[in-house]
């Protein structure tokens, strides 16, 4: 697979040593601390939540300031997806891509891995109504709206609840 800056992309499951890079990407992508590092550490240590990481061996353009951390033997983490699976259901919690690597299909690859790992489960997620690009991605993967929560987010934005049988 070829990307503008990414020559190869690998999806792997995170380990505790990946928590700092996950946190950095979350801060950059969400513009507020929605995923505190302490929480990431606790979730990874307890095995409560699975974090899928997108790694590349490419370098970001010069404007990227996040990519010094998280580089290991020529690879760097450029995105993540987190989820919690319980019996036959799975809740997708977060999906984020380093802003320097957005628009290159990385979120799509993370979603594909998520769907493959959770086949035969019912998946749920919530997304802000104004997050058009995320909503389009989820719809492309067959997620459908089943409810709305007006004023759900800190900024008063409506949450769109989506589901899909994987």
- Catalytic residue annotation: 126, 138
How does strand 122-128 pair with strand 89-97? parallel
The length of the chain in residues reads 166
How does strand 89-97 pair with strand 75-86? antiparallel
Per DSSP, helices labelled H in 83-161 are 106-117, 132-140
DSSP letters spanning 48-76: -SEEEEEEESSPPPTT--STTTTEETTEE
Residue of 144, 146, 80 lying closest to 114 (CA atoms): 80
Give the max Cα distance, the chain: 46
């Amino acid at each position: 697979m070829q990307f503008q800056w990414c020559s190869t992309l690998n999806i792997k499951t995170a380990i505790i040593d990946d928590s700092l890079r996950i946190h950095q990407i979350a801060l950059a992508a969400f513009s507020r601390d929605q995923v505190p590092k302490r929480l990431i550490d606790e979730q990874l240590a307890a095995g409560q939540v699975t974090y899928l990481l997108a790694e590349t061996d490419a370098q970001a353009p010069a404007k990227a300031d996040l990519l010094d951390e998280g580089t290991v033997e020529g690879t760097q983490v450029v995105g993540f997806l987190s989820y919690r699976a319980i019996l036959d259901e799975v809740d997708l919690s977060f999906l984020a891509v380093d802003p320097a690597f957005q628009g290159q299909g990385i979120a799509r690859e993370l979603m594909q891995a998520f769907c493959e790992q959770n086949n035969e489960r019912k998946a749920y997620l919530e997304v802000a109504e104004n997050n058009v690009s995320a909503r389009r991605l989820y719809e492309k993967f067959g997620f459908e709206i089943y409810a709305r929560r007006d004023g759900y987010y800190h900024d008063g934005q409506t949450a769109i609840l989506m589901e899909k049988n994987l």
